[in-house]
Structure 1
Amino acid sequence: MSQTVRTKGMLAGFAIVVLVAGAGVAAAQQQGDWHLGMRAVFVDTDALSEPVLDTTSRLAVDGALGLEFDATYMLGHNWGLELMAMAAQHDLSAYSGQFDGLDVGTVWITETTVTLRYIVPLFGSWRPYLGAGVAGTYFFESDTTDEAGDLGVDSVESNFGYGFVGQVGLLHRFNDRWMLTLDVKWLDLPVDVDLESSGPPLDTVEIDLDPIVVGLGAAYRF
């Protein structure tokens, strides 16, 4: 058999595999389907604020574990629109300068994203995907320490920050309804944070959170 014939045969075989795999994905997902899911997430961030309280110290936000809920509406066989909301409790501390190492307390941070996803139709029950969209964040329910209170900081709050998000992930379908989900998001999220006292805010500084959110969970198709 000539090299040309063998090459054509290999290409034809590859094309058949792609078509069969793509047909399997198409059969499993239809326009109008909903995927509702939940994931345990790790929010990886070591964000630092601008200098605070007219010093060289900065407010540091540590990484944290959290919980995420998501809903995806399938626009077609391979395209979906995902809405995600998550929250995690983060430790706050002072970094560098005269307050270096001071324990500021904790704060809950929520992140919300809306992404357009494309599912790669090649791997049967294993389906990688890519996505991009917009993101938002908000600080709530802070709990400051006595040390922070001695400086006049009674709470840590924020406005609503917004930015952009990129996404990669992998779906593994167990059956027609249930699937395992592994998801990684990169968020570009600046936010203005207020160091609040009993009176006017002591200071307002910008923090670039820019977290990487890694999640593992399950989803159900309706």
Structure 2
Amino acid sequence: MKTTHVVIGVLACAAGVQPAIAKEGDFLVRGRAILVAPTESSGPVTPGFPGSEVGVSNSVMPEVDFTYMLTDNVGAELILATTKHDAQGRGTLSGFDELASTWVLPPTLTLQYHFAPEGKVRPYVGAGVNYTIFYSTKASDALVTAIGATDVKMDDSFGYTLQAGVDIDLNEKMFLNLDVKYIDMDTTARLRTGAATNTARISIDPIVAGVGIGFRF
């Protein structure tokens, strides 16, 4: 009997939660913890390392995003985060757990469609563009030991982004957010060792999964 009363009480509390209701003119601010998981592929590091490939490590970091609701259903979201990744040897370079490291700054702008804007559970989908800046890129100690002092540069990337997520109300102003994105991200890495230059074309194409808390203003 007591269990029944508890269940009824929980359901009554849930029913009493007022939806945050994202509507035209609102700002939504979210803080997320994200996992950036590259689905990478690459060509060989040429001309010096035939038969080689380059992998890219996962990264976990915080992220902040801002959404402005253009209408009750349509929002524009700017996503800001920076993550650190290692370039790892594959194929004939598989002896190198780390070839180089880089920081990645990928500001991303998406246009979203929010379903059920007056509901307590509000799924959305989005698509947009991404510009990725690679910075503080450097060769690993193991690579320098093997081939000598090496300068590493990675070209910036411009591509598309696909997104899906859901906001789940916690109270009138605060909501839980679950979000996943696919980012088209390609770069050319250049390794200069003395007079020699080796290059590799890398498709990073990460899936970015995040969970966090949002607020409506």
Smaller-chain TM-score range?
A: 0.7 to 0.9
Which one of 92, 101, 110 corresponds to residue 95 of structure 2? 101
Q: How many residues align?
A: 196
Pair 1:90-2:88 in alignment:
no
* Residues in 2 aligned to 1:200 and 1:81: alpha-carbon distance in whole angstroms: 47
Pair 1:127-2:127 in alignment:
no
* Structure 1 match to 2:143: 148
Bigger Cα displacement from structure 2, 101-110 vs 81-90:
101-110
* Residues in 2 aligned to 1:110 and 1:170: alpha-carbon distance in whole angstroms: 24
* Residues in 1 aligned to 2:156 and 2:137: alpha-carbon distance in whole angstroms: 15
* Structure 2 match to 1:175: 171
Q: Residue 137 of structure 1 contacts residue 191 of structure 1 at CA under 8 Å; is this kept in 2?
A: no
1:188-207 map, 5 Å: 188-197=184-193, 202-207=197-202
Question: Structure 1's 190 and 201: CA in aligned 2 closer, same or farther, altered over 3 A?
Answer: farther
Pair 1:159-2:155 in alignment:
yes
Question: How high is the sequence identity, in percent, across the aligned residues?
Answer: 33
Deviation of 1:111 (Å): 1.9
* Residues in 1 aligned to 2:91 and 2:34: alpha-carbon distance in whole angstroms: 29
- Structure with the bigger RCO (C-alpha within 8 Å, sep 6+) is 2
Q: Residue 94 of structure 1 contacts residue 101 of structure 1 at CA under 8 Å; is this kept in 2?
A: yes
For the residue of structure 2 that corresponds to 1:202, the secondary structure is: strand
> TM-score w.r.t. structure 2 length?
0.81
* Structure 2 match to 1:13: none
For the residue of structure 2 that corresponds to 1:28, the secondary structure is: coil
> TM-score w.r.t. structure 1 length?
0.79
Q: Which has the higher helix share?
A: 1
Q: Residue 130 of structure 1 contacts residue 167 of structure 1 at CA under 8 Å; is this kept in 2?
A: yes
Which residue identity is paired with 2:43?
E
1:47-66 map, 5 Å: 47-54=40-47, 55-66=50-61
Deviation of 1:123 (Å): 7.8
* Structure 2 match to 1:76: 71
Gaps of 5+ in 2: 1-17
Which one of 23, 26, 30 corresponds to residue 30 of structure 1? 23
* Residues in 1 aligned to 2:199 and 2:206: alpha-carbon distance in whole angstroms: 21
Q: Residue 46 of structure 1 contacts residue 60 of structure 1 at CA under 8 Å; is this kept in 2?
A: no
For the residue of structure 2 that corresponds to 1:51, the secondary structure is: coil
Deviation of 1:45 (Å): 1.2
* Residues in 1 aligned to 2:71 and 2:196: alpha-carbon distance in whole angstroms: 49
Q: Residue 93 of structure 1 contacts residue 101 of structure 1 at CA under 8 Å; is this kept in 2?
A: no
Q: Residue 39 of structure 1 contacts residue 68 of structure 1 at CA under 8 Å; is this kept in 2?
A: yes
CA RMSD of aligned residues (A): 2.2
Question: Structure 1's 212 and 152: CA in aligned 2 closer, same or farther, altered over 3 A?
Answer: same
Question: Structure 1's 141 and 48: CA in aligned 2 closer, same or farther, altered over 3 A?
Answer: same
Deviation of 1:126 (Å): 0.9
Bigger Cα displacement from structure 2, 125-134 vs 136-145:
136-145
